[in-house]
Amino acid sequence: MNISKLTQQLLRVKREKCLSFADIGKKLGRDEVWTAALFYGQASMTDDECKKLVNTLGINLTSQDIFDLTHPPSKGTLIKTFPPTDPLLYRFHEILAVYGVPMKEVIHEKFGDGIMSAVDFTIKIDKDETNKEAPRVNVNMSGKFLPYKKF
């Protein structure tokens, strides 16, 4: 995965300041996953949010950096090969390959003919440590249901 110089800079400062995406997201009033998407050039922010980011990280940004952070990005460009080769990313691909059609059918049973929005969408990732030997990753995706229009 090739990441931009801006992404590299943001990640370096985040690491140097020992901040998490959740820490930065709280300062911006955004979720940690959205904040990570912003760092990787997959989301855009307002000018006010950009000022908050600059203050939170204590960095100087060029006018090009500000443009890149505040204008709509080309989404979905980080993963260059499918299926992805990174083991964690591959597992999400595997989940879709194995459970995608069953999930689609269950959604259709419950909602009818339509799709789940990836625009009006949130995702929450939590760590469940109730089993100390095998902590669980909980991924909750919530998207608006969009029925297909009949015409």
The Cα–Cα gap between 110 and 104 comes to: 10
Catalytic residue among 94, 105, 136, 142: 94
Q: Give the CB-side neighbour count of residue 13, counting CA atoms within 13 A.
A: 16
CA dist 111 and 146 (Å) reads 9
91 is known as an active-site residue: yes
Instruction: Give the active site residue among 12, 20, 91, 105.
Output: 91
Q: For residue 87, say if its preceding peptide bond is cis, omega within 30 degrees of 0.
A: no
Tell me if residue 117 is catalytic. Answer: yes
Q: Which of 4, 20, 117, 142 is catalytic?
A: 117
Question: Which two structure tokens, joined as six digits, stand for 122?
Answer: 């949130």
Residue 136 annotated among the catalytic residues of the structure: no
Say which amino acid occupies 149: K
What amino acid positions are annotated as catalytic residues?
A: 91, 94, 117
